[in-house]
Structure 1
Amino acid sequence: MTRASLDKQPHEVASMFDDVAERYDLTNDVLSLGQARLWRKAVDKAVGARPAERVLDLAAGTGTSSVPFARTGAYVVPCDFSIGMLREGKKRQPWLPFTAGDATKLPFADDSFDAVTISFGLRNVQDTDAALAELYRVTKPGGRVVICEFSQPTWAPFRTVYTEYLMRALPPVATAVSSNPDAYVYLADSIRAWPDQPALAALLQKAGWQKVAWRNLTGGIVALHRGTKPAA
């Protein structure tokens, strides 16, 4: 079993997700107390995929997040660097064009996608700035980015309760439902170390994205950040 460290070496992170691929979606539903499905719906609405658009779903895992985009008639590319996740996804959704790729060196041409999105994957990338720059590069002028990531609860008392859950309750729950509970200790650590809402917005602006804004979900446990690539 593999547990990545917070220096986020790509081979460690990929191996960790390989280990949890089979039960990853189930574990997320349990650990989020069912909120994960609501968060996916919020992402789907924020992306607003339309027929014939090209959508990149980065850190797509098993493709669960990609299916709603495909249902709109958009051409969606689920991309992930965990081969285990991609294999599991191909079993479940063999019709989706799963693609192996590193967020810091995406295997796509400039200006390829109308929309790019990444859910609960950006904080696992070793170089956040490089990933945001790559997402910007492969987005068409006038295109959009949607990032769904764990963030900081806005109400201080709730933030304390949430942190206690992450560090004390999450590991034993993960032990009961996950094939690699140690991976969820890393995930809890990575959530605590992740920038808050304004800090991530600043990173998006630094990468060139404009009209950057965010919306809190579930009291700020999760935040949806959005931005637009300037039109040519």
Structure 2
Amino acid sequence: MNRADLGKQPAQVAAMFDEVAANYDRTNTVLSMGNAALWRIATTKAVAPKPGERILDIAAGTGTSSASLAKSGAHIVAADFSAGMIRVGRERNAGNPNIEFVQADATALPFADGEFDAVTISFGLRNVVEPKKALAEFYRVTKPGGRVVICEFSTPQIAPVRAGYYAYLRYVMPTLVKFASSNDPAYDYLGESIEAWPNQRTLSGWLREAGYRSVAYRNLTLGVVALHRGIKPERSAAPAAS
């Protein structure tokens, strides 16, 4: 069985997600204790898709988030690095004219400058080997005046909540994975990657460095997840120096 490590080599990450694609959504529902659906609703509201808009959903996986966005009448480009995820997503969303699946690398997007009204990624930026490079690509393909929305695991601000959350990742989640997934090692990596991921202020800083303005975030589930937002200026400013 394949599992990535915190080096996040693209081939390893893709192979890992290829293997878990078929049961990915079910496993996420179990491990999030049902919160995954609530986080998806919050993300869709933050993106605020409108009919006729063109929206890029990166790390779209099997298209669950894309389907939520597509209900608005917007055209959703569901991009993912994993061929296995794309295959399952196309099968599950066959017949939905508002979703287009594309295999793509978040750090080298195959799209034109300013092509999308909004760019969003849910629980995927953490798995990119060069997240700042990905954010620069998100900025490039966002239209002036367009928006970015990132939903990602984060750092609970209350110490007892943080301690309990990390205990869940280390001791409870591995047990649940045995019942919900066919690839235990893959979810060992996911737990490790969550703990290693920077906090809310750091990611907000990265968005500003990429060039986004009006950057803000709000915590979901006491900071277990954070929803980050930003706007690309109408007159595109040069990204801040890192």
CA–CA separation in structure 2 for the residues paired with 1:90 and 1:75: 15
Match of 1:152 in 2: 155
1:115 to 106, 115, 118: 118
Query: What is the RMSD of the two structures over their aligned residues, measured on CA atoms?
Result: 0.6
User: Which residues of 2 match residues 1-232 of structure 1 at below 5 A?
Assistant: 1-94=1-94, 95=96, 96-232=99-235
CA–CA separation in structure 2 for the residues paired with 1:13 and 1:145: 24
Q: Quick one: percent identity of the two aligned structures?
A: 59
Q: Helix, strand or coil: the match of 1:66?
A: helix
CA–CA separation in structure 1 for the residues paired with 2:148 and 2:184: 31
- Superposed CA offset, 1:181-227 (max 9, x none): 11110000000000100000001101111000000000000000000
Following superposition, the deviation at residue 70 of structure 1 comes to 1.0
Following superposition, the deviation at residue 18 of structure 1 comes to 0.3
Following superposition, the deviation at residue 172 of structure 1 comes to 1.5
Q: Helix, strand or coil: the match of 1:62?
A: coil
CA–CA separation in structure 2 for the residues paired with 1:140 and 1:158: 38
- Superposed CA offset, 1:117-151 (max 9, x none): 00000000000110000000000000000000000
Count matched residues.
Answer: 232
Following superposition, the deviation at residue 114 of structure 1 comes to 0.2
Following superposition, the deviation at residue 81 of structure 1 comes to 0.5
**Structure 2: which 5+ residue stretches go unaligned?**
236-242
**Contact 1:209–1:229 under 8 Å retained in 2:** yes
- Superposed CA offset, 1:86-119 (max 9, x none): 0001110023310000000001000000000000
**Contact 1:55–1:114 under 8 Å retained in 2:** yes
Following superposition, the deviation at residue 154 of structure 1 comes to 1.4
- Superposed CA offset, 1:34-76 (max 9, x none): 0000000000000000010000000000000001211101010
Q: TM-score, normalised by structure 2?
A: 0.95
Which letter does structure 2 place at the counterpart of 1:128?
P
**Contact 1:171–1:182 under 8 Å retained in 2:** no
Q: Helix, strand or coil: the match of 1:111?
A: coil
Following superposition, the deviation at residue 179 of structure 1 comes to 1.7
**Structure 1: which 5+ residue stretches go unaligned?**
none
Which letter does structure 1 place at the counterpart of 2:75?
Y
CA–CA separation in structure 2 for the residues paired with 1:44 and 1:147: 11
- Superposed CA offset, 1:162-192 (max 9, x none): 1000011111211111121111100000000
